[in-house]
Amino acid sequence: MKIGFIGLGIMGKPMVRNLLKAGHEVLAYDVIQANVDQAVKDGAKAAESSKDVAAQCKLIITMLPNSPHVKSVVMGENGVLEGAQPGTILVDMSSIAPLASKEIFEACEKKGVKMIDAPVSGGEPKAIDGTMSIMVGGDKAIFDEVYDILMSMGGSAVYCGEIGAGNTTKLANQVIVALNIAAVSEAFMLSTKAGVDPIKVFDAIKGGLAGSTVMNAKVPMITEGNFNPGFKIDLHIKDLTNALDTGHGVGAPLPLTSLVMEMMQTLRADGYGQNDHSALAKYYEKITGTEIRK
């Protein structure tokens, strides 16, 4: 199938590769030409604009940083809606505010374009190996229609409800991940300050109730001092901003999320915004003057 793909960043590039591996033809576009060149090198074809993508493809996937970027790409000048024909399907896999998804959906509906929101979890490693978790909101029939395509990029794709439900689910995911990393950082600073080897602590507790995918992924990074980004603090700040805004809008209290947000903002101010979100450990290292290392 011919698929349009807009947004070729850390996540988008490997997602395109997996679509190509599955036998699809991909027409790719990004505002950064080097990203387009890499996609072409991988086997995709280059488009001139988002409008050009929509004019040539009946199925379009967007993978962009935040709500304003998706609005611009879909609703703006030379955007998807300027080139799309009625019946086109837009799968927005960006992690954005649920209210923004609904606004974009309404604009699409007026043009006869069908849209679902399908944000992902798993970061760059799972985007590379095609095992991302995909959370979907919108028309169930559209979800069913594109399910096999989603599964060429992910390990699971779950229908969560009406438009915006995918992004609400992603926000819940991001709250849990952020709080989990903070808890891991706090606990392993405790063991380090008490003189207990953090690797031994990890080996002892990872199989019990405290064990988690987050701990398994992030403790090795923290103890090695490896904060190369799989998912950047700056992007997690974006997600927590959307979570807090959504929580305020629906009356859901998020006090722990607010606290971890302030920790991340401190790290951004210290110049660590482009680090992996496991660098939350650096917050504890800063205030104790002690590193969590094996």
Gap between the Cα atoms of 221 and 236, Å rounded = 17
Q: How many helices (H) and strands (E) does the chain have?
A: 14, 9
Gap between the Cα atoms of 149 and 89, Å rounded = 12
Structure token pair of residue 211: 């064990």
Residue in the structure block whose two tokens are 């609005």: 71
Structure token pair of residue 289: 């003057």
What residues are annotated to the active site?
170
Give Cβ neighbours of residue 109 (< 8 Å, ≥ 6 apart): 115
What is the SS3 assignment for 26?
Answer: strand
Structure token pair of residue 107: 């604009």
